[in-house]
Amino acid sequence: MSKSSSVTKAFAAAFVVLTVSAIAGIVTMVILYNTQIATMNPTPRPTFPSTTTGLPPVMRLPKNLVPERYKVFLWPRFYSQIIEEVNVTSANQTWHFSGNTTVYFHCVQGTSSIYLHSQNLDVYGPVVASTDTDEGIRVTRMENHQDQTNFLEIELDYALKTGGNYSLFLAFRGELGYLDGMYSSLYKEGIPAHEDDTDTDRVLIATQMEPTSARKVFPCFDEPDFKAEFEVTIIHRRITTALANGINTDGANIIDDDWKATAFQPTPLMSTYLFAFTVSEFTPTRSSNHRVEINTYARPEATAAGHTKYAADITGRILNYFEGRFEINYPQRKLDQIALPDLISAGMENLGLITYREGALLYEEGVSSLLDKEDIAELIAHELAHQWFGNLVTMKWWNDIWLNEGFASYMTLYAVDAVEPDFKLKDVNILNNLHYAFEADALASSRPLSTSQGDVQTTSQILEMFDIITYYKGAAVLVMLADLVDQPVFDKAIRRYLSDWQYKNTDQNILWEYIQKADDESSGERNIAEVMNSWTKQIGYPVITINTTSGEAFQKHFLFNDSAVSSLSWHVPIRAMRYTTLFRLIWLKPGESAMKGEFVATKGEWILANVNCTGYYRVNYNPENWDRLITQLQKDPRRIPLMNRGQLVDDAFNLARAKLVNVTLALNLTRFIRNETELIPWAATISNLGYFVRMFDRSEVYGPMQMYLRNQVKGLYNSFSNYTANSTVPTDHSSQQIQIKAIDVACSNELPECIEMAQHMYADLMKINSTNNINPNLRSVIYCQAVAHGGKEEWEFAWDLYLRSSDVSEKDRLRRALSCTKKIWLLSRYLDYTLDPELIRMMEVTSSISDVSRNVAGQALAWNFIRAHWNYVGYWNAARLIEAVTGRFSTQFELKELERFAKDYDLGPASSAAYQAIEQTAVNIQWVSENKDVILEWFERETA
């Protein structure tokens, strides 16, 4: 699945991190874990004993029967179109399906009961036969366990023989699910979001099996290491097209006036969670540049308008890249991709039939911005990487899901770099991946990347694995591993690993063996498993403290909670440089409390460790070395590698948060950005200062702070003013990104020329009204700033345009702009509109109110509003709403109000969010009281 994956966990978690890390800085939920933690293991989960032969299985299927091939018939009965002139027959939409399956399996150890999975299905008519002798075996009992196991237990008259081959036939009926299993998706005819033009309803069928929903579609051995071939036939309406994992066998079979059957060739060996099919009226765009037949499906109107073009264009190129890098061809002759109106994650890598959210795949020239394009390229690369990592070579069990997701995230960096080198994704990776992982993994409540199988048993435990640690830490430890053994060695090991284990299942130990072998061939002497297990089997990461006077270095578990005690340590590979000299790789091993000599600075030169941020750790220095680094950054920042310029800022702010350095040190590190022209240092600074903004934008600190940032950004802003004034953008990608950032920082810190520019462009838009000349990259910030500095007219113009606009990204920008006004009565009106689903769609209520609360003028208003209308607004994503609305809370009064709210309101599943908000508020109060004076003084001095 893609990063913003399964709603339950990863999506929610990723969202939290996005907001929290924008907030970054000193935010902490750590106070929750004030207890001393001697051993840093996560809260124990209920474990289930592993299955031993003879006893009934507990959670996992027994291994005595091994499925080899399934023949599956599926018949969803829905109508894809409801025609106005009511024909009674077709007016009755139906949401059920029927089907049957024959699974051919091998008996490894004799047994008289068959266990497989089935959930929410009405299963009947079992037939068991020996395929060796054709002899039937009577079924004496069939029971679908109504518990977390979802076992379908079939008891036989007599035992199957060890070494025998058998078949099991089952017929079944089921109902369509909600976004998992086999589900329906409703949409209106037309281009996505231009759809209001017509009222014709359309329906399609799609599937989402990962991790455990295949059992909701047909009874099967639903565990990743029961790989089998799937030969599927879909019966569907004649006007629709069916797609599945395999290649369509030529010529669909017409059944009658309404129905036809499309049969697909057997798939290669694959896990059940990769099974997929769709039934729709969507149309394909063929990618031309690949020997594999690649088609990207979307609504006919979107295909016709060319919105699939970008995706179709890069897919073939990315596939070529992976084939070259892995030296293994994509294993099928076809690859379909489909843009769906509804999908639980942004993308799902089903073998040969990748599903995407349409908003995440379609690109509209002239309306979508360059950031949308980056997201599309990343997403496609991620899902295509899974065709090897996950689909071809699969983890044995969900405890090692990081082997899927970590590799997909890691390989994405290289694939996007190959097809869109301008995006510089490998550099930006530190903002996109590393900082999220660092944020989540600095809590005492984090979990190890790879847990034991016993800790991951139930579906909800499996879903919990799709979190920030799996995706981001997974990618980060691979970056470190590749760097420490050297990229060519790593690549060689990976090619052998994929080749030896294709169509099979692995765990991380097998991966370490391959790296070890390749490493031994080149240099040897280190124990890869020992090194890597210190990163994958323990929570957290270290902060390395280097004293450049004594040359010593030591490691310590980095935790936000400065009172937590931990004795964890790691095998830390350190790449360091002294001014212009790169050191050889230095190892800091567990138990070595200090190392002599290595890091002595001579002649007042600085030392920088973790060059290019390949290591998964933070670095702290003695004050003298910090000073030298700060001086270097101010004098000639380019001496310090780009990624490290961002990382030094991020490390300093986070070290301050953990009380390992003074907050003024972190602030001193932001001085150099005045002359900085690259995105990474700017983005790291602004995101780390986000917390300062929220804590101080209602206080006297805010004036000097804004003035400081205004002074810092002015030069950068002016360097783009020729472009910006004409609403144009530079040609190269990184300049476009930094232009957006510069305008955003300049306008939100009230740089007069920026505000004027925004107002001027917006005034033109209000005049002309028919054509929008503002470049899509700039619209978001222009709309918001013009509304913020305007009055009723500007706001109402935006509101009007919002109601009339039919494009998703445009509508979204306008909706966000509405929350930017400083006029309380307009914000109040806007909040009232969120109560009317005709005006603000229900799925946007939470984000609209959150937007208002992020505006300092709307903060108190939003807090009153959610309490007054909790029954309506608290219905969706209540936890996110609480997190957003309380984000500024930093006074005793607010704490009291929040406590009363948590007590008096029925918060349901959001009550833990309320308690976290209470803890957070307490942390904020303490942080403000400890830091406000010194920060105010710092900003005043800087701007004097």
Ligand X SMILES: *[C@@H]1O[C@H](CO)[C@@H](O)[C@H](O)[C@H]1NC(C)=O
**What's the full length of the chain, in residues?**
944
Check the annotation: does 405 bind a ligand: yes
| Residues of this chain, 599-618, that bind ligand X according to CB under 6 A | 611-612
C-beta of 467: minimal distance to Zn ion in Å?
12
Residue closer to ligand X (CB basis): 510 or 543: 543
b/e burial code for range 628-661 (CB count within 10 A of at least 16 → b): bbbebbeeebeebebbbbbbbbbbbbbbbbbebb
Single out the catalytic residue among 231, 364, 383, 676: 383
Residue closer to Zn ion (CB basis): 379 or 849: 379
Site string for Zn ion, 388-427 (x = CB under 5 A): -----------------x--x-------------------
* 508-522 vs 402-419: helix crossing angle, rounded to 10: 50
Site string for ligand X, 197-236 (x = CB under 6 A): --------------------------------------x-
Stretch that binds ligand X, among 87-95, 143-151, 520-528, 872-880 (CB under 6 A): 87-95
Half-sphere exposure of 292 (CA within 13 A, CB side): 23
**Is residue 385 close enough to count as binding Zn ion by CB under 5 A?**
no
Q: Decide if 207 contacts 201 (C-beta within 8 A).
A: no
Q: Phi/psi of residue 632, each to 5°?
A: -60, -45
Residue closer to Zn ion (CB basis): 409 or 772: 409
Residue closer to Zn ion (CB basis): 408 or 665: 408
C-beta of 83: minimal distance to ligand X in Å?
9
**Is residue 18 close enough to count as binding ligand X by CB under 6 A?**
no
**Is residue 722 close enough to count as binding ligand X by CB under 6 A?**
no
Q: What span, in angstroms and rounded, lies between the C-alpha atoms of 46 and 51?
A: 15
> DSSP assignment, residue 421?
G
| Residues of this chain, 619-678, that bind ligand X according to CB under 6 A | 622, 641
Task: Decide which of Zn ion, ligand X, none touches 550; Cβ closer than 5 to 8 Å per partner kind.
Answer: ligand X
Task: Decide which of Zn ion, ligand X, none touches 429; Cβ closer than 5 to 8 Å per partner kind.
Answer: none
The secondary element (H helix, E strand) that includes residue 691 is helix 679-696
Q: What span, in angstroms and rounded, lies between the C-alpha atoms of 378 and 393?
A: 21
# binding residues, ligand X (CB under 6 A): 19
Task: Decide which of ligand X, Zn ion, none touches 408; Cβ closer than 5 to 8 Å per partner kind.
Answer: Zn ion
Q: Decide if 569 contacts 590 (C-beta within 8 A).
A: yes
Q: Phi/psi of residue 547, each to 5°?
A: -110, 110
Q: What span, in angstroms and rounded, lies between the C-alpha atoms of 316 and 288?
A: 8
| Three-state SS annotation for 331-358 | CCCEEEEEEECCCCCCEECCCCEEEEEH
Residue closer to Zn ion (CB basis): 349 or 851: 349
Check the annotation: does 382 bind a ligand: yes
Q: What span, in angstroms and rounded, lies between the C-alpha atoms of 543 and 539?
A: 13
Task: Decide which of Zn ion, ligand X, none touches 921; Cβ closer than 5 to 8 Å per partner kind.
Answer: none
C-beta of 400: minimal distance to Zn ion in Å?
14
* C-alpha distances out from residue 281 to 79, 83, 697, Å: 11, 15, 52
Q: What span, in angstroms and rounded, lies between the C-alpha atoms of 831 and 852?
A: 8
Stretch that binds ligand X, among 84-92, 326-334, 748-756, 933-941 (CB under 6 A): 84-92
Choose, by CB under 6 A, the member of 391, 457, 547, 780 that binds ligand X.
547
Choose, by CB under 6 A, the member of 550, 563, 567, 912 that binds ligand X.
550
Task: Decide which of Zn ion, ligand X, none touches 75; Cβ closer than 5 to 8 Å per partner kind.
Answer: ligand X
The secondary element (H helix, E strand) that includes residue 65 is strand 65-76
937 an active-site residue?
Answer: no
| Residues of this chain, 563-582, that bind ligand X according to CB under 6 A | 582
Looking at 790-924, which runs of residues are DSSP E strands? none
Task: Decide which of ligand X, Zn ion, none touches 830; Cβ closer than 5 to 8 Å per partner kind.
Answer: none
| Three-state SS annotation for 209-233 | CCCCCHHHCCCECCCCCCCEEEEEE
| Residues of this chain, 383-442, that bind ligand X according to CB under 6 A | 427
288: burial class by Cβ within 10 Å (0-12, 13-18, 19+)? exposed
# binding residues, Zn ion (CB under 5 A): 3
C-beta of 548: minimal distance to Zn ion in Å?
41
Q: What span, in angstroms and rounded, lies between the C-alpha atoms of 188 and 198?
A: 7
Residue closer to ligand X (CB basis): 112 or 550: 550
**Three-class SS state of 869:** coil
Residue closer to Zn ion (CB basis): 411 or 518: 411
Tokens at residue 827, please? Answer: 């914000």
Q: What span, in angstroms and rounded, lies between the C-alpha atoms of 854 and 838?
A: 24
Stretch that binds ligand X, among 15-23, 85-93, 684-692, 888-896 (CB under 6 A): 85-93
Check the annotation: does 194 bind a ligand: no
> DSSP assignment, residue 551?
T
**Which residues lie across from 114 on neighbouring strands?**
154
**Is residue 89 close enough to count as binding ligand X by CB under 6 A?**
yes
Residue closer to Zn ion (CB basis): 274 or 649: 274
| CB within 8 Å of 58: residues ≥ 6 apart | 48, 49, 50, 51, 149
**Is residue 232 close enough to count as binding Zn ion by CB under 5 A?**
no
Site string for ligand X, 92-121 (x = CB under 6 A): x-------x---------------------
Residue closer to ligand X (CB basis): 359 or 615: 615
**Is residue 1 close enough to count as binding Zn ion by CB under 5 A?**
yes
Binding site for ligand X (CB under 6 A): 73, 75, 87-90, 92, 100, 235, 258, 427, 547, 549-550, 582, 611-612, 622, 641
Active site amino acids: 383
Binding site for Zn ion (CB under 5 A): 1, 405, 408
Annotated binding site for Zn(2+): 382, 386, 405
Annotated binding site: 382, 386, 405
